[in-house]
Amino acid sequence: MQLTPQQLSDYRRDGFLVLPDFVEQAACDDLRARAADLVHNFDPRGVASIFSTHEQNRLANEYFLESAAKIHFFFEEDAFLPDGTLKQSKEHSINKIGHALHDLDPVFNQFSRTPELRQLAADLGLVDPLLLQSMYIFKQPRIGGEVGFHQDSTFLYTEPQNIIGLWFALEDATLENACLWAIPGGHWLGLKQRWRRGPEGMYFETYNSEPWPEDELVPLELTKGSLIVLHGLLPHKSLANRSSRSRHAYTLHLIDAHSSYAADNWLQRPAGMPLKSF
């Protein structure tokens, strides 16, 4: 499958593109089953790393930073009781798994490296695409946390800014279970922040503190197997999931080998684990 001129025009205009039924439903089920296996075999004792977009700097601990080259597990903010124990099973407490699933797990590797994705990357203008990071997102029933407004280029900065995010719906993503929301054309507003490494840890450098035009937000509801392509500068968010249904998704971020990847980005691979293509 190749993108049509109209689809490419829509992507350039809006900063996102919805591709229904991009992945077979059986492939979605295989990825969900593999994620369940990984969580089942994960021993949470001594690991209380929480994912939060509200306290990003404080929570950027060694466990998080090392996940650039590993498979690590991160809990929902509301997963713990005051004494530090989980409110419910670990299977219903994990926020996400990241960030090198695509290189370190054979099932995720197979899902992430297909002829269809290679063609998509070429259609989007990546001359020499590299797979940078991957995340399995659970959006747990009732406790799935809000993910505030953000741009992927804030966290994965390149020059030129050509990060591409791929967001696969492994279940139906609806208003009820907290689908993504985006501002069409918001990528033309430019980069508002960068999350950078400094001598004392991670910090945000702000370039534009004007609020996002939230009245322009649109929901991106998807059926299982659909894909959203996200421009790195597109402002997007998701609300908390207070429904009884999960909203599993898998994300990949691609860069071009010919771009300059910032040395002060949080995600840095060790010398013996270079980025790979399809």
pLDDT digits 0-9 by tens, 86-141: 899 999 999 999 999 999 999 999 999 999 999 999 999 999 999 999 999 999 99
**What's the whole-number mean pLDDT along residues 160-186?**
97
Q: Which residue has the tokens 């990060």?
A: 163
pLDDT above 80 (res 10) = yes
pLDDT digits (tens, 9 = 90+) for 231-240: 999 999 999 9
Bigger pLDDT: 48 vs 181: 181
pLDDT tens-digit map of 38-68: 999 998 876 656 555 555 444 558 889 999 9
If you average pLDDT over residues 267-271, what whole number do you get? Answer: 96
Q: Name the band, by pLDDT with cuts 50, 70 and 90, for residue 83.
A: confident
Peptide bond into 160 cis (omega under 30): yes
**Residue type for position 149:** F
pTM: 0.94
What's the pLDDT at 161? Answer: 93
The pLDDT tens digits for 201-217 are 999 999 999 999 999 99
Q: Is the pLDDT of residue 151 over 90?
A: yes
**What is the per-residue pLDDT for 57?**
47
